[in-house]
Amino acid sequence: MPLKLTTTTRYVLLVIVIIIGLHSILSFTHEDYSRATSLKHIASQLSWGSSSHDQVPDEYYVPDSASALPDTLLSRRANATLLMLARNADVDNAVRSVRRLEDRFNKKFGYPWVFLNEEPFSDEFKTRVSNVINGEVTFGLVPREHWYQPDWIDEDRAKAGREKMVADNIIYGGSVSYRNMCRFNSGFFYRHPLLEQYKWYWRVEPDVHFHCDIDFDPFLFMEDHNKTYAFTITMYEFRATIPTLWDGVKEFVRAHPEYIARDNAMGYMSDDGGNSYNLCHFWSNFEIANMEFWRGEAYSKFFEFLDRKGGFYYERWGDAPVHSIAAALFQSKEQIHFFDEIGYEHNPYTHCPKGEGAWARGRCGCDPKRSFDYDGYSCMRQWDRIWD
Ligand code: GDP
Ligand code: MN
């Protein structure tokens, strides 16, 4: 029998439905509003004024309720991968780093991982690492010609260089494999077939820590703000590892003035207008960057030029100063970004967000008082001064 309602009953029901509807809309708006205002409040407490410490805007943050994969996977994603170079013997520490970044960031965003090694990864490495990753993961082999010391390097000269560094107690001074790694990270990783499809990478090393929730997508932030290279820690390089690097840089710049950006970050790396290098560099064990920059003409020529000098083997040039110098010279300083929000530790240094808002919002476990930023060995002052 069809349900018959009097006009009055219909009217009452309609009013009830409207009231329920209005209430849910209003309470949602209210919650939303109070969240937004408390975030604004937090943001207003931040002390950073200069653009060198720009905070990631609210719209890049993902609310907790949208965290489950895959159905709530964000509609906008960057063409990006998380990247780790590691040896089989690094497996315990590799697993630790992956767990930490998955927990603090990637369980929400689901970016794929790529692992590279110049030796085939063991079954144990692949099984244990895959076990702590939800999403896609691939394991790749570095081609021989991207890794080992080239034949045209004079081994007698290289050996003499290593022995001198051992005698002088320079860290990794006697290691050929460390030099292979630095050269690979300087000029080859972004040409690996597994990375060719990607534009962005986030470099992760075994046994690093992520001390805060990273509820925003750093790749999208960088893409939208025309950033190319991002860091969390900057410090001095050991001069003994790069005695002739800056001479090479100056020679390259004289030959190719067309690659130097007008609004570059030279003032961060040099205290005398480019005559000498003050050893400041971005610590490259953490890097989020656009590989198109490394693949581009300026950097390709730069790397080729430096590689031909042989300094990766005759000295012990690190990928950190090589990347940093290129990033600082061949593009505007605005394209380099300092991520204050990303609490990060690689023994022995930690970056802990100092802005009170960022620290609370990220539920950071680190001690801001012990952040490396303005430690005596840090180059943050040199970074800051170019924004005055
Ligand atoms: P440090 O941070 O300068 O002390 O150098 P690490 O020992 O942490 O090495 C830097 C990165 O390169 C890490 O991701 C290591 O796992 C990786 N690495 C270093 N040497 C080798 C190597 O000989 N083979 C492979 N596959 N990875 C290496
Ligand atoms: Mn390391």
The pLDDT confidence band at residue 354, using thresholds 50, 70 and 90, is confident
In tens, the pLDDT along 10-48 reads: 666 555 655 555 454 444 333 333 333 333 333 333 333
Enumerate residues lining ligand 1, CB below 6 A: 85-87, 90, 117-118, 177-178, 181, 205-206, 285
- 304-315 per-position pLDDT tens digit: 999 999 999 999
Number of domains comprising the chain? 1
pLDDT of residue 64: 75
Ligand positioned closest to the Cα atom of 87:
1
In a domain, 308, yes or no: yes
Q: Which of 178, 184, 189, 241 for mutating ligand 1's site (highest number of atoms within 8 Å of CB)? A: 178
Coil/strand/helix, residue 84: strand
DSSP 325-355: HHHHHSS-GGGEEE-TT--EEETTEEE---S
Position 4 scores a pLDDT of 56
Q: Is residue 123 part of a domain?
A: yes
151 domain-assigned: yes
Pocket residue to mutate for ligand 1, from 83, 84, 87, most atoms within 8 A of Cβ: 87
CB-based contacts of 332: which residues, under 8 Å, 6+ apart? 261, 262, 263, 264
- Taking alpha carbons only, the member of 350, 386, 383 closest to residue 368 is 350
Least confident of 55-69, 147-161, 230-244: 55-69
pLDDT at res. 265: 98
**C-alpha dihedral (229, 233, 237, 242), degrees to nearest 10:** -20
Q: How confident is the model at residue 118 (pLDDT cuts 50, 70, 90)?
A: very high
Among 70-84, 101-115, 178-192, 307-321, the least confident range:
70-84
Q: Which of 233, 214, 210 is nearest to 362 (CA)?
A: 214
Q: The CATH number of the domain where 205 resides is what?
A: 3.90.550.10
Starting from the CA of residue 171, give the closest ligand.
1
Q: Which ligand 1 atom is nearest residue 117's CA? A: 26
- pLDDT band, very low/low/confident/very high, at 144 (cuts 50, 70, 90): very high
Beta carbons within 10 angstroms of residue 187's beta carbon: 22
| CA gap 147, 182 in Å, rounded | 9
Write out the residue range of the structural domain in which residue 141 sits.
Answer: 69-385
**Burial profile 36-45: b = 16 or more Cβ within 10 angstroms, e = fewer:** eeeeeebeee
> Which residue has the CA at smallest separation from atom 1 of ligand 1?
285
Ligand 2 mean position to 362 CA, how many Å?
24
Write the pLDDT tens digit of every residue in 216-264: 999 999 999 999 999 999 999 999 999 999 999 999 999 999 999 999 9
* Residue whose pair of structure tokens reads 């013997």 in the numeric block: 89
Measured in Å, residue 183 CA sits from the centre of ligand 1 at: 12
ipTM, interface predicted TM-score of the complex: 0.99
Query: What is the C-alpha separation between 308 and 281, in angstroms, rounded?
Result: 22
Q: Is the pLDDT of residue 51 over 70?
A: no
Tokens of 68: 């489950």
Q: Which ligand places an atom closest to the C-alpha of 205?
A: 1
**Percent of the chain with pLDDT strictly greater than 70:** 84
Give the tens place of pLDDT for each residue, 287-300: 999 999 999 999 99
Q: Which atom of ligand 1 is nearest to the CA of 205?
A: 14
pLDDT at 141 over 90: yes
Q: Which residues pair with 140 in a beta bridge?
A: 116
Tell me, yes or no, whether 17 lies in a domain.
Answer: no
245 class by beta-carbon count within 10 Å (0-12 exposed, 13-18 middle, 19+ buried): buried
Q: How far apart are the CA of 85 and the centre of ligand 2, in A?
A: 10
Is residue 2 a part of any domain in this protein? no
Give percent above pLDDT 90 in the chain: 79
Average pLDDT rounded to a whole number, residues 191-208: 98
Distance CA 117, CA 140 (A): 7
Q: How far is the CA of 257 from the centre of ligand 1 (A)?
A: 34
Q: Is 228 exposed, middle or buried (0-12, 13-18, 19+ CB in 10 A)?
A: buried
Q: Return the pLDDT at 124.
A: 98
| Cα(180) to centroid(ligand 1), Å | 10
At residue 267, does pLDDT exceed 50?
yes
For position 5, what pLDDT does the model report? Answer: 55
Would you name the residues annotated as active-site residues?
A: 287
Q: Whose CA is nearest to atom 5 of ligand 1?
A: 178
**CB count in 10 Å sphere of residue 176:** 15
Instruction: Give the position, in ligand 1's atom list, of the atom nearest the Cα of 93.
Output: 16
Atom of ligand 1 nearest to the CA of 116: 26
Burial annotation 54-73 (CB, 10 A radius, 16+ → b, else e): bbbeeebbeeeeeeeeeeee
Point out the ligand nearest to the CA of residue 88: 1
Per-residue model confidence (pLDDT) at position 20: 53
Average pLDDT, rounded, for the chain: 89
pLDDT on residue 54: 85
Cα dihedral sign for 355, 388, 259, 323? negative
302 lies in some domain: yes
Looking from the CA of residue 346, the nearest atom of ligand 1 is 2
* Mean pLDDT computed over 160-183: 98
- The C-alpha R_g of the chain, in whole angstroms, comes to 25
CA of 153 to the centre of ligand 2 (A): 26
For 29-81, give the DSSP string: HHHHHHHHHHHHHHHHH----SGGGPPPPGGGB--GGG--TTTT--S---SEE
Q: What is the dihedral of CA 312, 317, 318, 321, to 10 degrees?
A: -130
State mean pLDDT over 52-68. Answer: 78
Give residue 386's pLDDT: 97
- Pocket probe for ligand 1: among 84, 85, 202, the residue whose CB has the most ligand atoms within 8 Å is 85
Max Cα-Cα span within the chain:
102
Q: Could you give phi then psi for residue 45, rounded to 5 degrees?
A: -80, -15
- Any idea what DSSP says for residue 102? I
Q: Report yes or no on 230 lying in a domain.
A: yes
Report which residue type is found at 231. Answer: F
